[in-house]
Structure 1
Amino acid sequence: MREMKDSGVEWLGEVPAEWALRQAGQLAVQTKVPNEGMIETNLLSLSYGKVKRRDINATDGLLPASFETYNVIGPNDIVLRFTDLQNDQKSLRVGRATERGIITSAYVTVRPLNPSYSRFMYYALHAYDLRKGFYGMGAGVRQGLKWQEAKYIKLPWPGDAERDRIADFLDEKCDEIDRAVSAAERSIEEYKAYKNSIVNQIITKGLNSNVPMKDSGVEWLGEVPAEWALRQAGQLAVQTKVPNEGMIETNLLSLSYGKVKRRDINATDGLLPASFETYNVIGPNDIVLRFTDLQNDQKSLRVGRATERGIITSAYVTVRPLNPSYSRFMYYALHAYDLRKGFYGMGAGVRQGLKWQEAKYIKLPWPGDAERDRIADFLDEKCDEIDRAVSAKQAIIADLKAYKQSLIYEAVTGKREV
């Protein structure tokens, strides 16, 4: 058992007795090399705590007026995102470059005085970030931080050989954990694709593959069972607008990943309205449609179904089926339309918004009452089964990430000897 000492630094606690402490500014200097004349075109970004390549010709995301304002960085440089510390306390804010490239000058880039310092220093700053050390250090409206303040952060500093040994250990272990996380994430995507294919297949073709089919005359549907009808969405539901005046309802709901879920009305994170009295009161079986920003966001699921009374932002369109028994099948039909990207291209205005007045003409498949219920029952059961499998994978990912964070902290503070 190695001898430990109190570091005198709150986030570190005890460290090995023979270890030193160094301020970050004693180990690295800030580097600013503007990309004037476009001397470099290898675009890099800081994403999930890793410095990764991006396509400089891509048109998605925020784009600068010119990449000449970006900084040229090199292998072993450490990138720090010190912006918006007040509002975003989830992002990983430290990355390490492994190649030459350019990165936004909104980030702080520092260059270790010796390249051999780079890996351990990155892990130490990453551990500090995981302990939420940067939060509360910032200044200004959006709580920004400069290297002039951050350079005084105290880091543990073993001898050369031990630093390399710890960095080698963490490189190997983190890579192993990252591979396991990636495998679980791929599995989740496969489950989601399987779920989407089932919803689309059953909503458009039914449960019995042996029935006669007919051309629906609707592009997104293709062939449907011969005895099925078609209905416009507006023949099945009406828009409902019930303002929450006088705060008659406090059960806050939101549309997230295609599900209408409860939110804490007293939470302070995320965008908050001036008043929840502007929200709409909705009830069980209502269908919620997010028709905003169709131009820029083509990934979000835009249809959800309420299972309880509550309030939801009036930026969403809420419709109430003419008969509660229509609700589940209509939700799945609109969800299938959404999965086929049907809403995109329908919108108008700068941000491509859509109104119920246009959406109500969408044609949906419409079996008889009994068959609609059978299909909804089947999809409820199947989707719930897949959602449980996805949740199990997500729990594994959360455990792996927590283990990785614990491993990094214990190794760079010497609490785990490697």
Structure 2
Amino acid sequence: MDIYEDYKDSGVSWLGEVPEHWPLQPGLAIMYENKSKNTGMVRNSVLSLSYGKIRVKDESELPGLVPESFETYQLVDPGDLIFRPTDLQNDKTSLRSSISEFEGIITNAYLNFRFKDGAVPKYYHYFFRAIDNNKLIYGLGSGLRQNISFEDFKRFPFPVPPLQEQQSIADFLDEKTAKIDQAIAIKEKEIQLLKERRQILIQELVTGKKVWDGSAWTAPAETKDSGVDWIGEIPKHWEVRKLKYLTRKIGSGITPNGGALNYLDNGVPLLRSQNVHFTGIDWEKVAYISPDIHRQMSNSQVQYGDVLLNITGGSIGRCAVNFLQSEANVNQHVCIVRPNNAISPIFLNLLLSSELGQGQIWYYQQGGGREGLNFQNLKNFIFTYPPRNEQLEISRLFDIIDTENDKAISIKMKEIEKLKEYKTVLINDVVTGKLRVHAGSGKQLTKDLLYS
């Protein structure tokens, strides 16, 4: 890939210079708004814009809607560009547009752009993606919720390369973005495998399937029946107990009277379910309460070494050890599990986060629509554990392995971010003419992306 021979000033600050032979035209010259309705139910495939792609909705996703509801929907043809114009003020992260590969219908909450002769829809799909990535649309909206209409695009400047160039650019970006997405998918799979390996290791350690002999992990020399079918054999010197015999406290907090109105910018941290993660406690997004309210909530004051467990909602089961020496409290969605001297906090956290603990959480959770775990069931969780000195050694060795695992995951995540950034820059530079597309461009790049 190289650049074009001659450029001109586009007169548009964000576009900068464009190839000399590319005219700029207003949106109304290349597209129009399609408002054709599904009168008479001529189509029944309902489409949706999700994560920057158009997909066909499954029937199970259409609860409560009757066929008559779809008569007001818009007709969508392959090549139409669907744009979500609403709520610009509150949502500045979602991808808002995509070209449709399907024939179907979509709610009239979306804009439907259809391109005229002389415009290759897929090229303008990528140009709209560049507009989206550069956050240009957020200066266009109007109204309280910052909505966009076709009026905002009628005078918006669009480059119009020759038709064959538009097609070449679209074909090039189809190929290259697919290869980048493939490379991202490979790295995401590698991250998933690292996480699965971590869970397998935790399960083996907390059930005694692997023990440390001083130089390597090995199977225990002597075992005994745990007396629990789903645990099986454990090392001979290990014990089996219910959680209530391993703890001094199991209980959650409350939401202060007045709820979020009592939250302060500073004060005593009030930990909520969004703060508790398997990787630790997120102290950046905590709410704060006054010392007076903290004293009133004496039953849910957090101590150093407490294990915090989410007991409601979609994050049920997430747990972490509190290593904060200063004061903190929890609300009703977070349970304090305070270990006694028989078990170390880190080993207890490993037990709760293992398949052994998570399986019991899944089994006992109550609440139907909103999952929940009650204290009585939690107290009756069954766990295996070694002597405390062995717990500490297992925790120490696991921490070394887990740190290396976290580093590997972090590297993969950074690589994914680099690929996403490169994809954004590539789309922007190609559709605005900063880079010129030639046949075979980027083949070495593709190889590097896949095998790096």
**Aligned counterpart, 1:340:** 359
Of 356, 364, 383, which residue of structure 1 is paired with 2:375? 356
Pairing 1:8-407 to 2, within 5 Å after superposition: 8-32=11-35, 40=43, 42-54=45-57, 56-58=58-60, 63=63, 65-66=65-66, 68-69=69-70, 71-114=74-117, 117-140=120-143, 142-208=145-211, 209-210=219-220, 211-217=222-228, 219=230, 221-237=231-247, 238=249, 239=251, 241=253, 247-249=266-268, 254-255=274-275, 257-264=277-284, 276-277=289-290, 282-293=302-313, 297=314, 302-308=318-324, 309=326, 314=331, 315-323=333-341, 326-336=344-354, 337=356, 339-340=358-359, 342-343=361-362, 346-348=365-367, 350-407=369-426
Distance 2:401 2:317 in 1: 18
Query: Which entry has the higher C-alpha Rg, 1 or 2?
Result: 2
- Find the aligned partners of 1:65 and 1:318 in 2 and give their Cα distance: 43
Task: Return the offset for 1:180.
Answer: 0.7
- Separation in structure 2 between the aligned mates of residue 319 and residue 34 of structure 1, nearest angstrom: 58
Give the whole-Å Cα distance in 2 for the aligned partners of 1:6 and 1:371: 71
What residue is the counterpart of 2:215 in the other structure? none
CA distance in 1 between partners of 2:195 and 2:363 (Å): 21
Q: Return 5+ residue gaps in structure 2 as ranges.
A: 212-218, 257-261, 295-299, 438-452
Q: Give, in angstroms, the shift of residue 396 of structure 1.
A: 0.8
Per the TM alignment, residue 78 of structure 1 is displaced from its structure 2 partner at its CA by 1.3
> d(CA) in 1 for partners of 2:244 and 2:419?
47
TM-score (norm 1): 0.83
Q: Tell me: CA distance 1:338–1:322, structure 2 relative to 1, closer, same or farther (3 Å).
A: closer
Distance (whole Å) between structure 1 residues aligned to residue 138 and residue 276 of structure 2: 27
Of 321-330 and 31-40, deviating more is 31-40
- Please report how far the alpha carbon of residue 135 of structure 1 lies from its aligned counterpart in structure 2 after TM superposition: 2.2
Measured on the aligned residues, the alpha-carbon RMSD in Å equals: 3.4
C-alpha distance in 2 between matches for 1:37 and 1:352: 42
One-letter identity of the residue aligned with 1:354: L
CA contact (8 A) 2:205 2:394 kept: yes
Structure 1, residues 170-194: CA drift from partner, whole Å, max 9, x if none?
Answer: 1121111111111111111111111
SS in 1 for 2:349: helix
Please tell me the residue identity of whatever aligns with 1:74: D
Indicate if the aligned counterparts of 1:288 and 1:306 stay in contact, CA closer than 8 A. Answer: yes
For residues 328 and 42 of structure 2, the distance between their equivalents in structure 1, rounded to whole angstroms, comes to: 53
Cα gap change, 1:39 to 1:359, in 2 (>3 Å): farther
The whole-number CA distance in structure 2 between the counterparts of 1:31 and 1:281 is 59
Q: Secondary structure of the equivalent of 2:237?
A: coil
Corresponding residue for residue 440 of structure 2: none
TM-score by length of 2: 0.77
Distance 1:263 1:245, change over 3 A: closer
SS at the partner of 2:275?
Answer: strand
Distance apart, 1:341 and its partner CA: 6.8
Contact between 2:268 and 2:329, CA under 8 Å: does it hold in 1? no
Q: Residues 275 and 283 of structure 2 are in contact (CA less than 8 Å); yes or no, is this contact kept in structure 1?
A: no
1:374-416 C-alpha deviation (Å, 9 max, x unpaired): 2212322222222211111111111111011001111111111
The alpha carbon displacement at 1:19 in A equals 1.5
Shift of 1:63: 4.9
- 2:427 matches 1:416: no
CA displacement at 1:9 relative to structure 2 = 2.1
Structure 1 unaligned segments of length 5 or more: list them. Answer: 266-271
Give the counterpart letter for 2:383 in structure 1.
L
**1:222–1:178 CA distance, 2 compared to 1 (3 A):** same
Kindly state the Cα deviation for residue 154 of structure 1 after the two structures are TM-superposed. Answer: 2.4
Q: Percent identity of the aligned residues?
A: 30
Paired residues, what number?
Answer: 403
The structure-2 alpha-carbon separation of the partners of 1:87 and 1:340, relative to structure 1 and needing over 3 Å to count, comes to: farther
Measure, in 2, the Cα distance between the counterparts of 1:104 and 1:203.
52
Give the direction of change, closer, same or farther, for the CA distance of 1:202–1:89 in structure 2 (3 Å limit): same
User: 1:406 aligns to what SS in structure 2?
Assistant: helix
Compared with structure 1, are the counterparts of its residues 250 and 340 closer, same or farther at alpha carbon in structure 2 (3 Å cutoff)?
Answer: closer
SS in 2 for 1:169: helix
Q: Which amino acid aligns with 1:255?
A: N
Which amino acid is 1:65 matched to? Answer: L
State the SS of the aligned residue for 1:384.
helix
Residues 1:245 and 1:10: Cα distance change in structure 2 (over 3 Å): closer
